[in-house]
Structure 1
Amino acid sequence: MAMTKSKANTGSGCLTLFSLPFTIAGLCILGWTLWSLFGWQQAQSWVETPATLLETRLKTSRSDDSDTYQATARYRYQYAGKTYESDRVSLHSGSDNLGSYQQDLAKRLKKQFKDKKPWPAYVNPSDPTKAVLDRSLRPWFTLFKLGFGLVFAAVGIGMLVGARIMARKQGEKAQLSQEHPDQPWLQQPDWAAGRIESNQQYAIWFAWGFAFFWNLISWAASISAFTTAKDLPLWTYTIILGFPVIGLYLLGWAIYTTLQRARWGNSVFEMANVPGVIGGQLAGVIHVPGQLRPDDGVLLSLTRYVRRTKQTSDGDETYDDPQWQSDKLISRTMPGTKGGAAIPVAFHIPFEQHPTDEEEGHLWKLEAESNTPGVNYQAEFAVPVFRTEASSNAPPSESDLLAEYEEIPPLESLLNRIGGHLGRETDTSLQLCFPTGHRWKLGLLLGFFGLFFGGTGIGLLLERAWLLAIPFTLIGGGIFLAGLYYLTERIDLRISGDGLTVQRGPFGLVQQQRFTPEQIQAITVSASGTRSGNTVYQQIAIEPQEGKPVKLLTSLTRRADADRLAERFREILGPEVDL
């Protein structure tokens, strides 16, 4: 269906309107900061003269979230034989709670007032009606305003630029849609050209923007809490320090993605034919500007995703759920242009698969990754896959375009990737071991969030805030226990023609279950219900003839790994077990 021009402009127009408040607010804050710096520079040349304090106090403004403070005073001074009165205390108007500047200044003013001692005032010689009692800069306060303004302005201007780029691309797409109404693979410029750039540059911008914004807010809030709040309960440190710790992780993520781009450049997938054909092939070459010569090869994955939306307490959450995946291990790369590398790509796409349909949420992605010393290589491409006249339900031909480059990875390498070990493998039997700690990353992540929520809940219990304390404590405790489970769980699988035995459990408390082939109806692969970002963890389970399904392996990050293991289990158990 052709895209109309008005529909194409809707998204960019909304983004433009959404960006305006950020841009205006950021520029106003930057202007305010620069004006403050100019005022501070001018005040350094003002004339010092003694002032008599008439009154002074610390003004406190209370709200539900926090309290802010402002040192106020009224004073009298003389200049050039004339007497003046003023109530301007500092160069920074308004109240705040960044640091203890306002409280300290009010304390010193109050002491001088009680002792009936003069306070030095600084008078503008060009306009003696203007004076100030403290002309210091407050560097941290100025940096905070400057950083806040830069973030808002950068976000707003970035969205404006993005809206402009989006409008241009949508215009091109609308034009191509009108020219090729029945060929959707020619309705996007990069698809039509057969040259698709990796989305890594967008990932870098997102990583830095998110990390910068998170760290700015979390560190400013934490510093403010530690410098202004007195006698904080011990449990609050768990909450206050948790956000900066997450910020450091996000900063490390942004640095790593930048190093990847610096080392490998921006990869481009050049398609042999457009589009990738259902019941046919997706083929081409990935051009890598960097010198990619991996010892362990390059793992290629072609995956069909369905974009799903899940309702949460914070609103709707969108993620990509893998439905089908095929892997190929390329043992070596080809020489590329300008000293770079080229990765050959060829996948057969089964006839029953669903074509690309962005409106319905059906997406196809080509991914390439390789473990290399220092910074790993990784690239992702959104590729067009459709039914065409070349689509065929016939089995793929015996010839393989990648025969010279492809290497079938042994089962042991797959197990090592998911934290397992191959005990023994024959044509009729298989022993797998997943030792204690094989899911330590997931366990530590859940443990951290469990402590965060649990610490908050315990603190609320101490404050007798029962309504919030109980759910926070229960949720935090549950997440923490799940983390301990993943850290200490051990799994042993033994599969043979006589049946399947699974031993699993945490803390050395192992439970054993055994199934004969006659008791097994099917071995299934499905989403486990656990996600981390866009990674949807997969699980392998047994569907017995009677009773509930029994999980064998969970938290597998790759659909192709789960499919291959399930197929191997079925081969050993016999043809009567379905997939």
Structure 2
Amino acid sequence: MLQKLKERWVLFLFGAPFAAVGLGFLFWGIVPQFAEWTAMKRWEPVQARILSAEMKHHRSDDSTTYSLHATYRYQYQGQNYTGNRVGISSSSDNVGDYHRRVIGPLERAERNGSTVTAWVNPKQPDQAVLNRELRLSLLLFKGVFALVFGGVGLGMWAYVFIARPDKTNVTESEAQQQPWLSRNDWASATIKSDGKTGMWALWAFAAFWNLISLPAAIGAVGEALEGNHVAWVAVLFPLVGAGIAFWAIKLTLAWRRFGPASVTLDPYPGSIGGQVGGALEVALPYQPDNSFAVTLQCLHSYYTGSGKNRKRRESVVWQSEGIAQTARAAHGTRVEWLFDVDEGLPASEPPGNRYHLWRVNIKCELPGADFDRNYEIPVFATAEKAQQLGDVTTSNQHPEMAQQREQLLEELFDVRQVPGGVILHYPAFRNWSTMLVLIVAGAICAGIGLWLDPYGFPECIFTIAGLLMFFGGLYSLCSSLDVRIDRTELITRRRILGVGLGNKHTPRSEITKLFIDESYSSSTGNKHTTYYKIKARLRSGDKKTISHSLPGRELAQEALESLSLLTGVPC
């Protein structure tokens, strides 16, 4: 426990520079400029004569920044004054075209001996400014730093002061024999969800985002009404903040509605080569029609990129989906779920740069707030079976799940039996939502690359990747596939918007087996979907695609077994 406390203080000290940078940008870079801009609206205009005006360049290894310098004389209430303040901000930067736009009229006034308008503080006439424009682009630039650095630092501090310290008293030998006992949240069979942590984290993020974006947006409205139409862009940021706050409200309502809903594992821990299951009680009146979908995943969590492009990603190692069994409980609805787990899968590992974790998601769509909880659970190679849940049907074999898979297979492709085999028809636009996302994402990536620099590196790579995504998604969206397997041959025919690309014939005797192969994966938040193909292996070693875009291994396996039964080709 003492070691854990030391680790938390190290985390606190590590987060201090991040928090200092974020708060510094906020309270010394953003708030003062907004306050000065508000005060300057009451300053009075006078005519000033420019004595000198200059834009200085400051070069570094990878950028050039600019700063404005000017000296001018003005008269206020019969007194002569000399000023040298050009704008609200006097720091050097290269954000936008502000410096070039402002220095031009000042240099012309110096050459021609003409006057320009200066704004004087009536309470302190020795204070004046030539340009009282609120630079929204600079504020937003600083806001990004405040949001990123402040969010990281304050998040670390929040963990230090809010998260409960580990109170487990496990010896080193016990930790080696039962590694799940070394984590406080796994020290018993009862596992809490991430619902409460996610709710508070989202509220903190919403507060921080709106604290930065609202002042800038208020200032932007005034600028936009005065003719700076680009300033309306800043209004989008509070709209994003409102969306984040709305999401936080939904999570809060869901938490208040359903309560903690902790899962009790059976067996404990979850077992590789055995079963992973559990039960929970949801504060929801029992309704037989309420369907709780359960997804069990083994994930590989890792970092990609480097520096500012470093990101945490997750890839699916193994996944199974099913429907939980429900029953009436003393305080609501009892939800029970159970999966058989293959041998040889990775066990749960301590968090690090690269590690494996097991997560179960339980979701029920309801009027109002949905029940949607994630649980990170301990799973190790113990080969144990469930004791209390022994009579529960495994979730991936639940009758409702089997019905859903059958219905989905009918939607994905049309199967027609012929003597000695089948004809499969996969129409165009069958997976339009996924392909549309790929097309839009590719178009955005390619557009950004072309806008940045169509000939530069790595911008050209960015453009090429975007074009590949765009045309790959367009091809998949518009193409149809017909496959015929009968007693004599395998025929595949592909069309693009009805235009045939030719037929490919393979003798039936060349086909040795049918098998499933992973195709691609998609992710939305914590939800990962892996898509599979069914292929035919030939005696030559080549492979022919029979079916594709089958979401989930269970669905692909069921389709494989059906095709094997209908065609007589082994799998």
Provide TM-score, normalisation by structure 2. Answer: 0.72
Q: Select the residue among 184, 187, 194 that pairs with 2:182.
A: 187
Letter in 2 for 1:72: A
Segment drifting more, 97-106 vs 18-27: 97-106
Q: CA deviation at 1:489?
A: 2.3
Equivalent residue, structure 1, for 2:129: 133
Q: CA deviation at 1:134?
A: 5.0
Equivalent residue, structure 2, for 1:230: none
Equivalent residue, structure 1, for 2:227: none
Q: CA deviation at 1:397?
A: 13
Equivalent residue, structure 2, for 1:521: 512
Equivalent residue, structure 1, for 2:156: 159
State the identity %: 21
Taking structure 1 as reference, are residues 286 and 480 closer, same or farther at Cα in structure 2, changes over 3 Å only? same
Taking structure 1 as reference, are residues 142 and 319 closer, same or farther at Cα in structure 2, changes over 3 Å only? closer
Equivalent residue, structure 2, for 1:490: 480
Q: CA deviation at 1:132?
A: 0.9
Distance 1:194 1:271 in 2: 5
Q: Select the residue among 362, 369, 374 that pairs with 1:368.
A: 362
Contact 2:360/2:375 (8 A) holds in 1: yes
Residue-by-residue CA offset, 1:307-340 (whole Å, 9 max, x unaligned): 567779997766444444443334x7334565x5
Q: Select the residue among 15, 20, 28 that pairs with 1:19.
A: 15
Equivalent residue, structure 2, for 1:30: 26
Contact 1:418/1:556 (8 A) holds in 2: no
Q: Select the residue among 508, 533, 552 that pairs with 1:539.
A: 533
Residue-by-residue CA offset, 1:450-500 (whole Å, 9 max, x unaligned): 323434555678x7x366675455433322210111211223455678886
SS in 1 for 2:177: coil
Equivalent residue, structure 1, for 2:327: 334
Taking structure 1 as reference, are residues 117 and 104 closer, same or farther at Cα in structure 2, changes over 3 Å only? same
Equivalent residue, structure 2, for 1:73: 71
Equivalent residue, structure 2, for 1:344: 336
Equivalent residue, structure 1, for 2:373: 379
SS in 1 for 2:85: coil
Residue-by-residue CA offset, 1:241-294 (whole Å, 9 max, x unaligned): x9x999999996885586366346554322244222345433332333456858
Q: CA deviation at 1:23?
A: 0.9
Letter in 2 for 1:198: S
Residue-by-residue CA offset, 1:223-247 (whole Å, 9 max, x unaligned): 99xx9xxxxxxxxx9xxxx9x9999
Distance 2:250 2:294 in 1: 21
SS in 2 for 1:378: strand
Q: Does 1:88 align with 2:79?
A: no
Q: CA deviation at 1:40?
A: 6.0
Contact 1:54/1:76 (8 A) holds in 2: no
Distance 1:341 1:425 in 2: 44
Letter in 1 for 2:21: A
Taking structure 1 as reference, are residues 146 and 158 closer, same or farther at Cα in structure 2, changes over 3 Å only? same
SS in 2 for 1:333: strand
Contact 2:337/2:394 (8 A) holds in 1: no
Q: Select the residue among 553, 558, 562 that pairs with 2:552.
A: 558
Segment drifting more, 438-447 vs 266-275: 266-275
Q: CA deviation at 1:148?
A: 4.8
Contact 1:22/1:156 (8 A) holds in 2: yes
Equivalent residue, structure 2, for 1:443: 435
Contact 2:202/2:248 (8 A) holds in 1: no
Taking structure 1 as reference, are residues 14 and 344 closer, same or farther at Cα in structure 2, changes over 3 Å only? same
Q: CA deviation at 1:24?
A: 0.7
Q: CA deviation at 1:352?
A: 5.7
Residue-by-residue CA offset, 1:53-108 (whole Å, 9 max, x unaligned): 242536264766676563733225467x8754331234433355667766666566
Distance 1:566 1:517 in 2: 17
Task: List gaps (5 residues or longer) in structure 2.
Answer: 224-229
Q: Does 1:59 align with 2:55?
A: yes
Taking structure 1 as reference, are residues 102 and 482 closer, same or farther at Cα in structure 2, changes over 3 Å only? same
Distance 2:203 2:176 in 1: 36
Taking structure 1 as reference, are residues 478 and 175 closer, same or farther at Cα in structure 2, changes over 3 Å only? same
Contact 1:449/1:480 (8 A) holds in 2: yes
Q: CA deviation at 1:436?
A: 1.1
Equivalent residue, structure 2, for 1:283: 277
Distance 1:399 1:78 in 2: 90
Q: Does 1:172 align with 2:167?
A: yes
Contact 1:278/1:349 (8 A) holds in 2: yes
Contact 2:422/2:567 (8 A) holds in 1: no
Letter in 1 for 2:190: R
Q: CA deviation at 1:49?
A: 8.8
Taking structure 1 as reference, are residues 411 and 26 closer, same or farther at Cα in structure 2, changes over 3 Å only? same
Contact 2:209/2:241 (8 A) holds in 1: no
Contact 1:119/1:133 (8 A) holds in 2: no
Letter in 2 for 1:520: I
Distance 1:312 1:70 in 2: 35
The RMSD of aligned alpha carbons is 5.4
Q: CA deviation at 1:420?
A: 0.8
Letter in 2 for 1:189: N
Number of residue equivalences: 543
Contact 1:423/1:430 (8 A) holds in 2: yes
Give matches, 1:205-216, under 5 Å. Answer: 205=201, 209=205
Distance 1:315 1:44 in 2: 41
Distance 2:476 2:308 in 1: 26
Task: List gaps (5 residues or longer) in structure 1.
Answer: 228-236
Distance 2:271 2:172 in 1: 20
SS in 1 for 2:158: helix
Distance 1:429 1:287 in 2: 48
Segment drifting more, 182-191 vs 508-517: 508-517
Distance 1:52 1:83 in 2: 10
Residue-by-residue CA offset, 1:191-234 (whole Å, 9 max, x unaligned): 223222333455564799599879x89xx9xx99xx9xxxxxxx
